[in-house]
Amino acid sequence: METIMGRLLQFGVLLASFVMLLGGVLYVWAHRGGVPDYRIFKSEPLALRHIGGVMSGVAAGEPAAVIQFAVLLLIATPVARVVFALIAFGIERDKLYVVVSAVVLAVLLFGFFHSQ
């Protein structure tokens, strides 16, 4: 069970890194000649802050959206691990840890969706 879990995490990170690299190259190409300034905080555009907006951005081939998609993949990786553990505890009929995993999953999902 732990070996599969480790592989799952590794796969998620590899996939996210690949998408990140792709988006990054496109981003630098699209913004070449621009001067970056992150001294003062200004919120990122609303479209890049929720799943729907990121997805339509990816479909439109927007580099920033591709990077944000990689960020979403990365956030999803540990969440997938918790889902996997929940199923594995279910197969082992460990009721206590099915409940514990479900609580962790609920907190993760609350954090992700409540703030929208």
By CB under 8 A, name the binding residues for another protein: 1-3, 5-7, 9-10, 12-13, 16-17, 20-21, 23-24, 27-28, 31-36, 38-41, 43-46, 48-50, 63-64, 67-68, 70-72, 74-75, 77-79, 81-82, 85, 94, 96-97, 100-101, 103-104, 107-108, 110-113, 115-116
Give the CB-side neighbour count of residue 98, counting CA atoms within 13 A. Answer: 9
Please state the closest distance from residue 90 (CB atom) to another protein, in A: 13
Cα atoms found within 13 Å of the Cα of residue 66, Cβ hemisphere only: 19
- At closest approach, how far in Å is the CB of 95 from another protein? 11
Name the minimum Å distance from CB 55 to another protein.
14
The residue behind tokens 């009721």 is 95
Whole-number Å distance between alpha carbons of 104 and 82: 8
**How many C-beta atoms surround the C-beta of residue 90 within 10 A?**
14
CB closer to another protein, 36 vs 59:
36
State the minimum distance, in angstroms, from the CB of residue 10 to another protein. Answer: 4
**Contact call for residues 81 and 104 (beta carbons, < 8 A):** no
